[in-house]
């Protein structure tokens, strides 16, 4: 159990006498009260006030020992963090079993939290603090960890890069969430949580400018993705049971980058929305997609074939009809998800393969977030009203205008978004690969 801080004491501050003391039996945050406001106006009265507060601290510490707080402060920090990771797994499972309930964490969110906390635990062991207790945890230790994250190289695909301000802030949020979770237990595990505020404070920095890509960059990325995945695309929906994975390999275990890319690029939806999209929310033959319970409203509708404002992506709608027919043939019906996912239970974002393809295509730094910005930018270029573009992408108009819209460097002049982005040829190739491999074609073709 850590030693209590300074005992209650009286001193002058801003021309008046104040009593300074700490909550939670001397372990908590420091507080001050004005002596004269409580009737302690003489030196003798102030000495009596100090004595009363010292006795009060002793009583609080005795009560804390009865509640087990002294033992709680001796809890090994790594053990507590490992218990937190177990709760993250439980929350991930809750979301998987009932995604409509909106409880728990998505697979991607859980993965990111695990990465940060596991890295923090590994770092504590590396610097010789494997036995650090929650009562001994201090602000400098946290500050040293975040400085380590800022100075070391991170890996993106095949390249090594330094972490950005937004990435460092994300790691801070994950650590803060873990420490908050531990501090909400009773008895409390940290004697003074306020000392963590400074190292956990978000670093302000300039927002990165929104990005848009020319048709050559987008078509090249899609072409590289298809080139990598021809064999995997031909084997889509050939379910592999878990016990046969080792024998057959995991070639179909990941959701193809090419399919994730065209869905993100031509709808502007969030990565999680694309991965969680189910056939019950789609009319593939009419090209209508519905996204429910998003950040900005209960329902968004996107018409790929015949939106009144613009023609978005009729060929993407054709591709969805092919995927729909293949999903119906699958014994598990792909668990109802639009994006195929092989032997996995749900679609999964193939991050490493995505980054490798981006590097080979020319390191355009095409990311799911950048594709959202790109979609809003193409909306402006195609004369779609900003309010409509914001509704399609699931943002408020002011946010879409400020953080998501920029000039499109180069595009093809065409009626549809997919043609303007140069993606028609790539989507036709995907339809052709699937049609020849499975004998399934969009209505009216072959």
CA 25 – CA 8 distance, rounded (Å): 10
Q: Which sequence spans correspond to the domains of the chain? A: 9-67, 73-200, 215-438
Specify the pLDDT at position 55. 86
Which of residues 379 and 399 earns the better pLDDT score?
379
Span 209-213, mean pLDDT? 83
Whole-number pLDDT of residue 242: 42
Average pLDDT over residues 355-365: 86
pLDDT of residue 72: 74
Instruction: Kindly state the percentage of the chain with pLDDT values over 90.
Output: 41
pLDDT, average across residues 235-239: 70
Task: Tell me the C-alpha distance between 288 and 307, whole Å.
Answer: 9
Q: CATH number of the domain at 73-200, please? A: 1.10.150
Which residue did the predictor score with more confidence, 364 or 190? 190
Least confident among 213-222, 289-298, 309-318: 289-298
Among 57-61, 171-175, 433-437, the range scoring the smallest mean pLDDT is: 57-61
244 pLDDT more than 50: no
Q: Distance between the two ends of the chain, CA-based, in angstroms?
A: 76
Could you give the CA distance from residue 252 to residue 275 in angstroms, rounded to a whole number? Answer: 16
Considering the four listed CATH numbers 3.40.1350, 1.10.443, 1.10.287, 3.30.420, the one that applies to the domain covering 215-438 is: 1.10.443
Percent over 70 (pLDDT), the chain: 87
Q: Is the pLDDT of residue 298 over 70?
A: no
Tell me if 278 sits within 8 A of 339, measured CB to CB: no
Q: Note the pLDDT of residue 124.
A: 96
Please indicate whether residue 319 or residue 389 has the higher confidence score (pLDDT).
319
151 or 409, which is more confident: 151
pLDDT for residue 71: 59
Convert the pLDDT of each residue in 11-52 to its tens digit: 998 889 999 988 766 766 788 899 988 889 899 999 999 998
d(C-alpha 260, C-alpha 236), whole Å: 14
Query: Is the fold of 73-200 the same as that of 215-438?
Result: no
User: How do strand 9-13 and strand 288-294 relate by DSSP bridges?
Assistant: unpaired
**Whether the predicted model's global pTM rises above the 0.75 cut:** no
Q: What is the mean pLDDT of the chain?
A: 85
Q: Tell me what the mean pLDDT of segment 270-290 comes to.
A: 91
pLDDT for 428 beyond 60: yes
pLDDT at 223 over 80: yes
Ranked by mean pLDDT, the top range of 167-181, 331-345, 402-416 is: 167-181
Separation CA 176–CA 198 (nearest Å): 11
Max mean pLDDT among 230-239, 249-258, 295-304 falls in 230-239
Q: How confident is the model at residue 68 (pLDDT cuts 50, 70, 90)?
A: low
Own/partner long-range contacts of 206-210 (Cβ < 8 Å, ≥24 apart) = 207/403, 208/164, 208/166, 209/406, 210/373, 210/376, 210/377, 210/403, 210/404, 210/405, 210/406
In the predicted model, what is the mean pLDDT of residues 405-412?
A: 79
Give the tens place of pLDDT for each residue, 128-150: 999 999 988 999 999 999 999 99
């Amino acid at each position: 159990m850590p030693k209590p801080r300074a005992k209650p004491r009286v001193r002058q501050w801003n021309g008046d006498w104040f009593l300074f003391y700490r909550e939670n039996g001397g372990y908590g945050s420091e507080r001050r009260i004005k002596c004269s406001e409580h009737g302690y106006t003489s030196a003798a009265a102030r000495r009596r006030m100090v004595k009363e507060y010292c006795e009060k601290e002793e009583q609080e510490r005795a009560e804390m020992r009865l509640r087990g707080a002294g033992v709680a402060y001796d809890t090994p920090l790594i053990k507590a963090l490992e218990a937190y990771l177990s709760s993250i797994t439980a929350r991930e499972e809750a979301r998987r079993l009932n995604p409509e309930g909106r409880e728990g964490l998505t697979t991607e969110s859980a993965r990111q939290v695990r990465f940060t906390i596991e890295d923090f635990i590994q770092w504590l062991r590396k610097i010789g603090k494997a036995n650090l207790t929650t009562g001994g945890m201090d602000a400098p230790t946290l500050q040293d960890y975040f400085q380590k994250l800022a100075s070391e190289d991170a890996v993106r695909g095949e390249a090594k890069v330094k972490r950005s301000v937004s990435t460092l802030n994300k790691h801070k949020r994950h650590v803060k969430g873990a420490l908050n979770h531990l501090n909400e237990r009773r008895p409390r595990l940290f004697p003074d949580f306020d000392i963590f505020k400074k190292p956990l404070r978000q670093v302000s920095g300039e927002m990165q400018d929104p990005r848009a890509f020319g048709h050559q960059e987008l078509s090249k990325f899609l072409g590289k993705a298809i080139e990598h995945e021809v064999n995997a695309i031909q084997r889509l929906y050939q379910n592999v049971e878990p016990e046969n994975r080792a024998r057959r390999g995991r070639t179909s275990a990941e959701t193809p980058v090419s399919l994730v890319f065209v869905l993100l690029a031509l709808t502007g939806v969030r990565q999680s929305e694309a991965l969680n999209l189910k056939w019950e929310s789609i009319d593939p033959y009419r090209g209508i997609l519905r996204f429910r319970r998003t950040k900005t409203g209960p329902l968004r509708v996107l018409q790929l074939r015949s939106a009144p404002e613009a023609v978005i992506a009729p060929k993407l709608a054709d591709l969805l009809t092919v995927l729909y027919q293949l999903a119906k043939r699958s014994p598990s019906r792909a668990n109802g998800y639009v994006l195929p996912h092989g032997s996995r239970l749900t679609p999964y974002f193939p991050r490493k393969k995505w980054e490798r393809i981006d590097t080979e295509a020319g390191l355009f730094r095409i990311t799911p977030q950048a594709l959202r910005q790109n979609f809003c930018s193409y909306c402006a270029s195609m004369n779609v009203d900003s309010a409509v573009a914001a509704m399609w992408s699931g943002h408020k108009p002011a946010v879409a205008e400020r953080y998501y819209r920029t000039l499109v460097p180069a595009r093809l002049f065409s009626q549809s978004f997919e043609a303007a982005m140069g993606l028609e040829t790539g989507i036709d190739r995907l339809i052709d690969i699937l049609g020849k491999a499975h004998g399934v074609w969009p209505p009216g073709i072959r």
